[in-house]
Amino acid sequence: MKRTVSISLGSPSRDKRVIVDLNGVQISVERIGTGGDAQAARRLFTELDGQADVLTIGGIDLYVRLEGRDYPIRAGLKLVQDVQRSVVVDGRMLKFALEGRIFELAEPLLGGQPHFDCAFIPFGADRIGMIDSVSRVADRVIIGDLMFMFGLPIPVRGLNQFKFIARLLLPLAGYLPISVLFPPGARDEDDNPKYERYWLEADLIAGDMHYIRKYSPLNLSGKTVITNTTTEDNIQLLRQRGVQRVLTTTPVYEGRSFGVNMIEGLLTAYSGVNRQLTIPELNALIDEVDLRPTLQILKKDG
């Protein structure tokens, strides 16, 4: 049996192991969280090197991709620098491929191409494919990187403005420590709603579940949420906040939608090529194994 293991800086409370069958190929998919302990994560990468076909990293990226260029995240690369035998992926290639096609892939579930008045993406530095997709179905797109990363009450409006700012900041962001880059809410922290105006203004919220859980208002009535890495508790939380429907970009396995890093690891193990896959190869595999998003209706209309 093939094996892929995600070593995450996130909470161990989200750990899970499942066996996935892709066209008759059985693959063990496992997540191990270290609760923000970078040294423990680095040790695990070293210990599991060669024991898994693919190792993936969660809670931090190795690179951030923008317009065909990969900007290195040195704190992430340090964690995997001793891995020699297993393939290492961070999910950025699949994230770009999958999120860039999210509304195409979800069209049968949504009953056609949706339209939104305003979309809010709390953090988009590693989600350029999502921003691009959302920009095609929403009249307005607000992105919160400056608010949630730097504490500046300045919304980024639209894809072009975001790209301009990202080109300036990404070379510098690669030198930031893990304590800054680590997603808020990933350590089971208390909720702390911020910048509520932008959450409430949007009828579509798209992005990392950690940001949504920690920073969104308690009332999200009638909204559509696009995210991934959801647990059953996350879905219950969104239901309690009044969310109408949740679209997860990755499939749900045993009540859990795994992160794109784990799904990229799954597809890489399935391919058997023993290297990181390209975006065209991942797009072909998305169709080959019929990898589709999952839609959950949490509140009926009316």
Q: For 37-61, write each residue's pLDDT tens digit.
A: 999 999 999 999 999 999 999 989 9
pLDDT at 130 over 70: yes
pLDDT given at position 149: 85
Task: Specify if 20 maps to a domain.
Answer: yes
pLDDT confidence bin for 182, thresholds 50/70/90: low
237 lies in some domain: yes
CB 289 within 8 A of CB 22: yes
pLDDT of residue 187: 56
- What total of structural domains would you count in the chain? 2
* CA–CA distance, 221 with 135 (Å, rounded to integer): 22
Q: Is the pLDDT score of 186 beyond 60?
A: no
Q: Are residues 106 and 34 in the same domain?
A: no
In this prediction, residue 268 has a pLDDT band, given cuts at 50, 70 and 90, of very high
Q: Where are the beta strands (DSSP E) in 122-196?
A: 138-143, 156-157
pLDDT(203) > 90? yes
Asked if the model's pLDDT at residue 157 lies above 70, the reply is yes
Burial 69-78 (b: 16+ CB within 10 A, else e): eebbbebbbe
Q: Render pLDDT for 134-151 as a digit per residue (tens, 0 to 9).
A: 999 999 999 999 999 889
Q: Which of 149, 144, 132, 126 is nearest to 65 (CA)?
A: 126
- What tokens appear for 258 in the block? 């795994």
- Alpha carbon distance 292, 281 (integer Å): 16
Return the structure tokens found at 69: 């260029």
Name the token pair of 139: 């009249």
Residues 6+ apart with CB under 8 A from 114: 103, 137, 224
Provide the domain limits for residue 225. 97-252
pLDDT at position 301: 66
Q: Tell me how far apart the alpha carbons of residues 229 and 82 are, in angstroms, rounded to a whole number.
A: 27
Which run of H or E residues covers position 174?
none
The answer to whether residues 39 and 164 belong to one domain is no
Residue 204 in any domain: the answer is: yes
Stretch 225-237: mean pLDDT? 90
* CATH number (domain holding residue 151): 3.40.50
- The sheet that has 294-297: what strands, in order across it? 156-157, 138-143, 116-121, 204-206, 224-227, 245-248, 294-297
pLDDT digits (tens, 9 = 90+) for 74-95: 999 999 999 999 999 999 999 9
Task: Calculate mean pLDDT across residues 214-238.
Answer: 93
